[in-house]
């Protein structure tokens, strides 16, 4: 996201995440896969005490540098989100009120240890808000398609049609995607159908408590594909069961 953020985070991820997370001053929130600390910094400015982790030591270096004025409110750690024992070491003296993870679950080969650890570290009734690419619409080998009619008329307002063609939904699969169109770098994604994601949540002691499927606002003069009618990401809020 660079020093600030990008359009995807600004218009798709952040508003929906804030709606579901509703961070409040004085809360202790766990930021999983924090990257360069952008969202941790955003929360800390609202009086939230943040414990943040990322697998990349380089990212944590960037985060500490970019959040140097908020380090009294943010505690950064390097940790592997696939290792329960490593994650549970971050458990504070008191349980976290909430946890959040922005656009990371599809980057993690095994998310079960993460969900179990987050559940263990949350207070009873605590929530975990996480986002990722929408597994129903951003499947492996998905195609973006632009359709143009070969004529126009006074009653033909919608002669341009933007759609997608999806494949290989039901089976989990590792595949490569372009991380950002600006740099063209390829990264690994781990596709999981929605039923599999929810099964992991339920088995980890959570219930589904909220969901958002945001899209970009469609301009009147749209001439190329963007995510106007089909949500590119899904943001889920799950709540720890009170046993």
Structural domains counted in the chain: 1
- State the average pLDDT over residues 115-128: 98
Question: pLDDT band for position 242 (50/70/90)?
Answer: confident
Q: Does the residue 102 lie in any domain?
A: yes
Question: Please, is 69 exposed, middle or buried when counting C-beta atoms within 10 Å of its C-beta (0-12, 13-18, 19+)?
Answer: exposed
Domain membership of residue 226 (yes or no) is no
- The pLDDT of residue 182 is 58
Secondary structure (3-state) at 210: strand
Confidence tier at 64 by pLDDT (50, 70, 90): very high
Does some domain include residue 225? no
Is pLDDT of 2 > 60?
Answer: no
Please answer whether residues 12 and 41 qualify as being in contact, where contact means their C-beta atoms are separated by less than 8 angstroms.
no
The closest alpha carbon to 118, from 228, 8, 211, 32, belongs to: 32
Which pLDDT score is estimated for 150? Answer: 65
Instruction: Supply the pLDDT for residue 161.
Output: 74
Confidence of residue 92 (pLDDT cuts 50, 70, 90): confident
What residues make up the domain containing 210? 7-135+192-219+231-240
Is there a domain that residue 2 lies in? no
CA neighbours closer than 13 Å in the CB half-sphere of residue 180 = 10
CB 106 within 8 A of CB 174: no
157 pLDDT higher than 60: no
Residues 20-29 have a mean pLDDT of 98
Residue 66 belongs to some domain of the structure: yes
Which pLDDT tens digit goes with each residue over 161-214?
778 899 999 999 999 988 765 566 788 999 999 999 999 999 999 999 999 999
What's the mean pLDDT in 126-131?
99
At 10, list the tokens. 């600004």
Best-predicted range by mean pLDDT (8-12, 49-53, 89-93): 49-53
Q: What is the pLDDT of residue 228?
A: 84
| Average pLDDT estimate for 83-105 | 94
Is there a domain that residue 155 lies in?
A: no
Confidence tier at 156 by pLDDT (50, 70, 90): low
User: Which whole number is the average pLDDT over 27-54?
Assistant: 97
Tell me if 95 is assigned to some domain. yes
- How many H-runs (helices) and E-runs (strands) does the chain carry? 7, 11
Report the mean per-residue pLDDT for the chain: 91
pLDDT band at 4 (very low <50, low <70, confident <90, very high): low
Which residue's entry shows tokens 């990349």?
56
The CATH number of residue 13's host domain is 3.40.50.150
In the predicted model, what is the mean pLDDT of residues 131-149? 89
Q: Which residue has the tokens 């004025």?
A: 69
Residue linked to tokens 């009653």: 155
> Which pLDDT value is given to residue 89?
93
| Residues 230, 138: Cα–Cα separation, whole Å | 10
What is the predicted pLDDT for the residue at 204? 98
Q: Where are the alpha helices (DSSP H) in 67-102?
A: 84-88
Distances (CA, A) of 166 to 137, 145, 209: 6, 11, 27
Q: Is residue 117 a part of any domain in this protein?
A: yes
């Amino acid at each position: 996201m660079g020093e600030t953020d990008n359009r995807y985070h600004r218009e798709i991820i952040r508003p929906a995440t804030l709606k579901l997370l509703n961070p409040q001053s004085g809360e202790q929130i766990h930021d999983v896969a924090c990257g360069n600390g952008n969202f941790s910094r955003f929360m800390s400015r609202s009086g939230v005490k943040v414990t943040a982790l990322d697998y990349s030591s380089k990212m944590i270096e960037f985060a500490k540098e970019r959040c140097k004025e908020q380090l009294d409110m943010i505690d950064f750690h390097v940790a592997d989100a696939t290792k329960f024992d490593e994650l549970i070491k971050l458990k504070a003296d008191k349980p976290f009120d909430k946890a959040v993870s922005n656009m990371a679950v599809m980057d993690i080969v095994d998310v079960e240890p993460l969900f179990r650890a987050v559940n263990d570290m949350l207070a009873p009734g605590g929530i975990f808000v996480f986002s990722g690419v929408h597994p129903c619409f951003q499947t492996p080998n998905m195609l973006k398609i632009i359709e143009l009619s070969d004529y126009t008329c006074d009653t033909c307002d919608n002669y341009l049609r933007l759609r997608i063609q999806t494949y290989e939904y039901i089976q989990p699969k590792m595949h490569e995607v372009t991380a950002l169109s600006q740099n063209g770098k390829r990264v690994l994604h781990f596709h999981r159908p929605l039923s599999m994601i929810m099964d992991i949540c339920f088995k980890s002691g959570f219930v589904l408590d909220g969901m958002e499927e945001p899209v970009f606002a469609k301009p009147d003069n749209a001439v190329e594909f963007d995510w106007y009618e089909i949500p590119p990401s899904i943001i889920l809020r799950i709540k720890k069961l009170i046993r």
